[in-house]
Amino acid sequence: MHLRNANTFAIYAASIAYIIEISTFPIIVKALSIDLALDTDQALWLISGYKITLIIALFVSGAAGDKIGKERVFTSGAFLFWTASVLLLFARTGEQMIILRLFQGAGAGLFSPMIPALLAANRPRNTLTALSYWGMITGAVAALYPFGAAFLTDTFSWRYGWMIVPVVTATAILRPPKPRGRAHLKTKASAPSIRRILTLPVLSVLGFILISYGISTWFIVTIALSDKIAAPTTTVGLYMFVIWSVFAVGNFGIARLNKRLPPQLLLYASVVLNGVMALLWFGQSDAPLVISCVAVGLSMALCNAPTTDLAFRLTPKTAHGTIASADIIAARLGGAIAIMILPLSLWQAAPFVLAAALVSLVTVAYATTAVSSAPAAA
């Protein structure tokens, strides 16, 4: 198999395991809690503990990948993630589960930012296409597998719904990505300073990511928790299916058409779609809510690969690991902030959502102007 294809196989396998964890663990956690007699605090720690160690690892994984090799950090993180995922199947107490979830989150924080950085290294001439296909695959998995996980958990056990995570991760470990020449080995001597990496245009991109993913995360959480949406879990699941399906299709469209469409147009359209979501969703009937789900799914697709590609174009290649970590941190931080400060009511939150969309429009306008006027990063 060609080296680039072999590397891509491992990267996609790890991506699938990563997105399955995100979309599946909330489904199996209730059955898991009943099986192991966990109390509510322990169940919440299984979710929050994973996120805490993931974010902590993100602060070091990007720079580590730039200094000692992205492939090394990717494989180490995937191995840690796989080991914890396997041991979770044999855990018998809440304490054991929590400890393993902490290690699993650390592993995810190590390998996840290496995924876009390695894809960019494998496809330096058309990074946006590679990132878009990656988004298409992960979006399709996020849309489809939760149904399978729910069926396996209800029919057999939560362990059957979870088992695919270590199985898929194992394929990434057995065929790990390999360095493509000396440029992808140690880069400590050429690693740029953090001041050179986090320039004002790059910070503008990160600000756009923070706002855009904050709006999207708020919308998804609101669907699940808002009192105005008196829908059963299966209906909420269908709304999620619409969002992730549109996300996958949108990424496929970007992969096929990105050479014909300027990246700034995609990002401007993402902002407009966030505004459409706020204006159309009245929370009173299914029709506007479904349209809003489509708008949010497409908005997520339009700002997913293009923002990462834009950030990579604004920074040296030896800093792509650091930028990928900052990208993920901005997205997760934006989601956490939006959930904390925005009410779960559209009528109260709409002005804030529209204002945030306008601010994100300014940030992306500045960043795209900067990248069009600056020489390509070395």
315-365: pLDDT as tens digits = 998 999 999 999 999 998 988 888 777 765 655 676 777 788 778 878 878
CB 212 within 8 Å of CB 93: no
pLDDT at 41 over 70: yes
Give the residue with greater pLDDT, 345 vs 288: 288
CATH topology of domain 3-126+158-171: Growth Hormone; Chain: A; (1.20.1250)
Q: What gap in Å lies between CA 364 and CA 369, rounded to an integer?
A: 8
Q: What gap in Å lies between CA 134 and CA 290, rounded to an integer?
A: 25
Give the residue with greater pLDDT, 257 vs 80: 80
Q: Where are the domains of the chain?
A: 3-126+158-171, 194-373
CATH topology of domain 194-373: Growth Hormone; Chain: A; (1.20.1250)
Give the residue with greater pLDDT, 229 vs 123: 123
Confidence of residue 377 (pLDDT cuts 50, 70, 90): low
What is the pTM for the complete model shown? 0.86
Predicted pLDDT of residue 3:
43
272-301: average pLDDT? 77
Within this chain, domains 3-126+158-171 and 194-373 share the same CATH topology: yes
> pLDDT tens digit string along 58-109?
999 999 999 999 999 999 999 999 999 999 999 999 999 999 999 999 999 9
**What angle (nearest 5°) sits at the alpha carbon of residue 134, between those of residues 133 and 138?**
115
Q: What gap in Å lies between CA 349 and CA 335, rounded to an integer?
A: 14
Predicted pLDDT of residue 188:
46
Q: What gap in Å lies between CA 319 and CA 152, rounded to an integer?
A: 42
189-194: average pLDDT? 68
Q: Which of 184-188, 211-215, 256-260 has the lowest mean pLDDT?
A: 184-188
Predicted pLDDT of residue 189:
46
> pLDDT tens digit string along 198-207?
888 899 999 8
CB 267 within 8 Å of CB 303: yes
